[in-house]
Amino acid sequence: MSKSAKFDRADVVEKATKLYWEKGFHGTSMRNLQDVVDMRPGSIYAAFGNKENLFKEALQHYAKVSFFRLSACKKASSSPLEALRTFVKSILIDTAESAPSGMCMLVKSVAELTVENAELLSESKRLLSLIESEFAAIFKEAIEQGEISASKDPKHLAQYLQIQIMGVRTYAGAHDDALAIEALIDDIFDSSVVRG
């Protein structure tokens, strides 16, 4: 009947995500993308529509990977709270070495996008909210298992954790010298917000 696509879509999205993550939406040109994914413009446009759509897929891929990491931390940990701690450690430390940017791609997107790319902006926000919901679910487990006081509100804790991660990653991104990340993570989980 026909011919099937030669390129590996997942691989292309992965590479596009890395580039967008590093350079941002406006800072990345279609020609940059053509180079890293090794495709000609016609093929890219046939497969992904346009620059915005490809960015949207990159955002979703990024979020998906984050969920996988969090899920892996849950499986590898003996308690909900420890899972979160492991997750935070992994994004604050691993990321700083191998990732295209020390900062969260979703946060970078919210920072750079305006109403001129309304859909990408709202998608970034939506995905951040999704992650926060997952944090809340894990905090809820921690409360049910007695790891955290039952007087705490899982949603409030999840919001607190998001703020802390955003803060530390942004701060780390703004400093060239190495930080005492471990101590900052201790600050987060020993905070009166969590333990009080």
Partner DNA sequence: GTTATTATTGAACGTCCGTTCATGGCTTTG
Partner DNA sequence: CAAAGCCATGAACGGACGTTCAATAATAAC
**Residues near DNA, by CB under 7 A:** 1-7, 28-32, 39-43, 45-47, 50-52
Cβ 117 vs Cβ 123: under 8 Å:
no
Nearest-10 Cα torsion for 24, 50, 18, 60: 100
Give the whole-angstrom CA distance, residue 33 versus residue 37. Answer: 6
Name which of 3 and 175 has its Cβ closer to DNA: 3
| Separation between Cα atoms, residue 124 and residue 105, nearest integer Å | 9
Residue 130 touches which member of a copy of itself, DNA, none, C-beta under 5-8 Å by kind? none
Residue 107 binding target from DNA, a copy of itself, none, CB below 5 to 8 Å by type: a copy of itself
The residue (of 1 and 183) whose beta carbon lies closer to DNA is 1
Which option in DNA, a copy of itself, none does residue 4 bind, with CB closer than 5 to 8 A by kind?
Answer: DNA
Mask of contacts with a copy of itself, 18-57, x by CB under 8 A? Answer: ----xxx-xx------------------------------
> Which pair of structure tokens corresponds to residue 12?
């292309």
**Any idea which residue has 């979020």 for tokens?**
63
